[in-house]
Amino acid sequence: MPVDRLLPTPEAFDLIELARDIADKVLDPLVDEHEKSARYPDDVFAQLGAAGLLSLPQPKEWGGGGQAFEVYLQVLEEIASRWAAVAVAISVHSLSSHPLLRFGTREQKARWLPEILSGRQIGAYSLSESHAGSDPAALRCVAVREGDQYVLNGSKAWITHGCIADFYSLFARTSEGSRGISCFLVAGDLAGLSFGRPEEKMGLRAVPTTSAIFDNARIDADRLIGAEGQGLQIAFSALDSGRLGIAAVAVGLAQAALDEAVSYANGRSSFGRRIIDHQGLGFLLADMSAAVISARATYLDAARRHDAGRPYSTQASIAKLVATDAAMKVTTDAVQVLGGAGYTHDYRVERYMREAKITQILQGTNQIQRLIVARGLAARLDGPSCPP
């Protein structure tokens, strides 16, 4: 059942309809088999790029869609409700272009953005390492300046679109300390760059997640984004918007699970009544609906703050926390509504439940989100008090 949305412009409604049309005609027929066999959908991202859906929130000056972030996120939610792995990859592509868009020089933008924002090149975000998932200041992958080049050595982990992406926004150490991290734009075919075997995941199987190994890989110094030592600032700036992308994906998953549970409950009878008419089940579905609608409102509030140029970091963490916890609960409850049928591959709800779990981990675990929110509260309490 289509979501009844409040959107800022007629063009935004057209984009939602375009996303639904592509999701129904292109994504929905492929998702089950590709997820089951962990097969990458080669042509899907080219079609999404051609439709302009891979660069909606980026500036028109550089070939983006120039859309409000709240519009982009609702398009992403529509795609996630059909294929979460593709939606996560779109969010990661947007995240990967953020460093160049926000911190690159005009020369760098003119050189690389047209291919990136057209969707002819797909990006990946390379921040985490096996020992430094929630603590990026502990990165060990190094970039050593040698003349007009940097030499990269070390490994990265948990890269969505790893070994498939055309470019990587890489964060590597250029000096000691938390201010010794820098950001680089690395080509996917770089000599000295190799990838580990794709992870065998419980969900989002169609888009690979891999490690990356840099072995004396050389890049030109003009691939440094921002200044040396600015990497963590760049990474954290990107993650605020990335967390909203994951929140939208989580809501899309939860909406899909709710829709399937409602459809099943309307069509299944027990004791002479539709099971949706039994109060115990009806109340469960009502709570699921309330969780989905509340989560959507939370990420939209953060997105509208972003669009208005207001601080939104804490709101992004809250949205990511609320939406992904809601997705985990709603998808689990959807399996419960379907009973034994929900535990089989005959219905999609078991896949939704498996996919929802990773949203609580991506872009900073929900424990990290709670830490960010708590620190924000402490900062408010420690700040200057209001005058009497």
245 contacts 180 by C-beta, under 8 angstroms = no
How far is the C-alpha of 33 from the C-alpha of 49, rounded, in Å?
Answer: 23
Mean pLDDT of the chain: 94
Nearest to 149 by CA among 103, 194, 186, 111: 186
Tens digit of each residue's pLDDT (9 = 90 or more) over 39-95: 999 899 999 999 999 999 999 999 899 999 999 999 999 999 999 999 999 999 999
Which range has highest mean pLDDT (60-64, 91-95, 129-133, 276-280)? Answer: 91-95
Q: Any residues with CB less than 8 A from the CB of 221 and at least 6 apart, and which?
A: 145, 148, 149, 150
CA-nearest of 176, 194, 174, 192 to 184 is 174
Least confident of 67-71, 238-242, 286-290, 379-383: 379-383
Q: What is the pLDDT of residue 272?
A: 85
Range list of H helices, the chain:
10-22, 28-37, 44-50, 69-80, 84-103, 106-117, 231-267, 279-307, 313-338, 349-359, 366-382
- Count other C-beta atoms under 10 Å from residue 130's C-beta: 11
Q: Which of 72, 75, 114, 73 is nearest to 97 (CA)?
A: 114
Whole-number pLDDT of residue 133:
65
pLDDT above 60 (res 237)? yes
The span from the CA of 137 to the CA of 231, in Å, is 10
Give the mean pLDDT of 92-114: 95
Q: Residue 312 in contact with residue 302, Cβ under 8 Å?
A: yes
Burial class (CB in 10 A: 0-12, 13-18, 19+), 153: middle
pLDDT at residue 387 is higher than 80:
no
Q: At what angle do helices 349-359 and 84-103 cross, to 10 degrees?
A: 30
Q: What is the pTM of this model?
A: 0.94
Q: Note the pLDDT tens digit of each residue in 314-371.
A: 999 999 999 999 999 999 999 999 999 999 999 999 999 999 999 999 999 999 999 9
Q: Is the pLDDT of residue 103 over 50?
A: yes
| pLDDT above 90: residue 382 | no
Q: What is the mean pLDDT of residues 126-135?
A: 83
Domains within the chain, CATH numbers bracketed: 10-117 (1.10.540.10), 123-230 (2.40.110.10), 233-380 (1.20.140.10)
Residue 385 has a pLDDT of 47
